[in-house]
């Protein structure tokens, strides 16, 4: 039924509606009566009566509307549930307009009942927000009643946030997924994933995969095309991720995919071959993991870069085997501690000829990371977060897809099976 049809439809007796339902506003409840009376009776003044008495005609008292409006949440409520709708009802009348407005000026959409005596909001309310409600109704004599109320919604006691990678405004390599780590365990994965959108230009299918109750990654089937613009849209505010635990974020994050660079570390040949935009741009001799500390195989994404960093074997479960305070040009490949980095302590003869590391991939470097002509320095300078390093012939199994940003090691069908929507 159209709005005009609703206006023209008779209701109750023979009275008709003369308005349409809008959105929502507020202040204390007021009932304002429209003045009505006998149109043939003077509204006031003095004059001579039929008997020449000079009597003054009294003004008729205005008739109050009998329509009674009720708004829930009630006027003055300060901690209304934000997951419950606004409800407006009228007794002995019919609603003409309902407007609900949030503190940011946004109108809340609602649905009018079939008989015109009730209205219920259909847009979600926001937590910790002030709302105003303005209602107009008519009784059967077309007399107007108004109600204006104000209420505030509660802020959730327990909240969750998602920490996302990559950062807004960055340029990344073709292997960079969108990875979100939540600070609380998510039990309603479908609700949370439905509130997160990842879109790309040019367009490509992008699917989310839950690695755990606290981690959700998004990626396309194959590496991003260079130049792709990707936008992460978080609409988690007031989404219930677990019982009594609500999201707080509503923001967009954008990043750009730069040139395509994929490097292959062949640990049988002990070489690292760098391919940029389809052309081999460098080949470096490397050292891989020793037979008792083999390097993970598979596709690994550079997730962090350090010009110098400390590497301590105790942090990766290898006791006191090493503690190097100034490892140069280090780039992280796994959460568990696999890096591709510079090495100044091994003999030059080992690069390209021996695998002696504790699982990392090493390129020749100098102490202090001050020489830009070393192989490690040049590879570091050519790399960005999100570039892919693929390890082959390492003698070890493929890295766990959840170990770092390495979901590319999971078949596409299996990846899609991990989506909650």
Give catalytic residue positions: 341, 360
- d(Cα 33, Cα 143) in Å, to the nearest integer? 6
Report yes or no: 393 and 271 within 8 Å, Cβ to Cβ: no
* DSSP structure string for 371-393: -TTSHHHHHHHH--TT-EEEEES
Q: Encoding tokens for residue 341?
A: 């980095």
- d(Cα 198, Cα 195) in Å, to the nearest integer? 10
Residue 222: partners with Cβ closer than 8 Å, 6 or more residues away: none
Q: Distances in Å between the alpha carbon of 376 and those of 79, 284, 357, 381?
A: 59, 9, 15, 9
- d(Cα 192, Cα 160) in Å, to the nearest integer? 11
3-state secondary structure of 133: strand
Report yes or no: 251 and 214 within 8 Å, Cβ to Cβ: no
Q: Encoding tokens for residue 142?
A: 């077309």
Task: Kindly state the DSSP code that residue 52 receives in the 8-state scheme.
Answer: S
- d(Cα 252, Cα 141) in Å, to the nearest integer? 52
Residue 340: partners with Cβ closer than 8 Å, 6 or more residues away: 265, 272, 302, 330, 331, 333, 360, 361, 362, 363, 379, 389
**Cross-strand pairs, 122:** none
State how far Cα 110 lies from the chain centre: 24
């Amino acid at each position: 039924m159209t709005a005009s049809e609703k206006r023209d439809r008779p209701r109750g007796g023979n009275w008709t509606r003369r308005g349409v339902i809008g959105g929502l506003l507020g202040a204390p409840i007021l009932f304002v009566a429209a003045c009505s009376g006998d149109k043939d009776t003077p509204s006031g003044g003095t004059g001579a009566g039929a008997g020449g008495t000079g009597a003054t005609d009294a003004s008729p008292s205005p008739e109050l509307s009998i329509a009674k409006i009720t708004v829930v949440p009630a006027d003055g409520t300060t901690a209304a549930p934000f997951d419950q709708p606004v409800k407006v009802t009228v007794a002995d009348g019919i609603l003409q307009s309902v407007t609900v407005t949030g503190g940011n000026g946004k109108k809340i959409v609602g649905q009018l009942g079939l008989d015109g005596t009730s209205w219920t909001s259909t847009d979600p309310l926001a937590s910790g927000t002030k709302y105003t409600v303005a209602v107009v109704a008519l009784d059967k004599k077309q007399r107007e009643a108004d109600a204006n109320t104000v209420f505030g919604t509660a802020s959730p006691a327990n909240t969750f946030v998602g920490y996302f990678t990559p950062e807004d405004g960055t340029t990344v390599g073709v292997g960079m997924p969108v990875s979100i780590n939540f600070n609380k365990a998510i039990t309603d994965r479908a609700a949370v994933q439905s509130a997160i959108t990842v879109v790309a230009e040019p367009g490509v299918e992008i699917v989310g995969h839950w690695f755990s109750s606290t981690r959700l990654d998004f990626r396309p089937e194959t590496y991003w095309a260079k130049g792709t613009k990707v936008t992460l849209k978080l609409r988690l505010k007031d989404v219930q991720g677990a019982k009594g635990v609500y999201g707080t974020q509503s923001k967009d994050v954008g990043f750009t995919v730069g040139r395509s660079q994929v490097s292959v570390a062949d640990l049988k040949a002990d070489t690292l071959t760098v391919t940029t935009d389809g052309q081999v741009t460098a080949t470096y001799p490397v050292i891989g993991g020793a037979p008792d500390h083999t390097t993970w195989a598979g596709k690994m994404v550079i997730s962090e870069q350090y010009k110098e960093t400390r590497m301590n074997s105790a942090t990766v479960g290898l006791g006191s085997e090493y503690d190097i305070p100034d490892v140069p040009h280090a780039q992280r490949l796994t959460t568990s501690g696999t890096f591709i980095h510079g090495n100044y302590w091994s003999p030059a003869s080992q690069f390209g000829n021996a695998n002696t590391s504790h699982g990392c991939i090493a390129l020749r470097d100098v102490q202090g990371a001050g020489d830009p002509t070393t192989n490690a320095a040049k590879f570091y300078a050519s790399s960005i977060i999100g570039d892919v390093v693929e390890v082959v012939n390492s003698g070890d199994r493929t890295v766990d897809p959840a170990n770092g940003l390495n979901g590319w090691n999971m078949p596409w069908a299996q990846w899609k099976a991990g989506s909650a929507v």
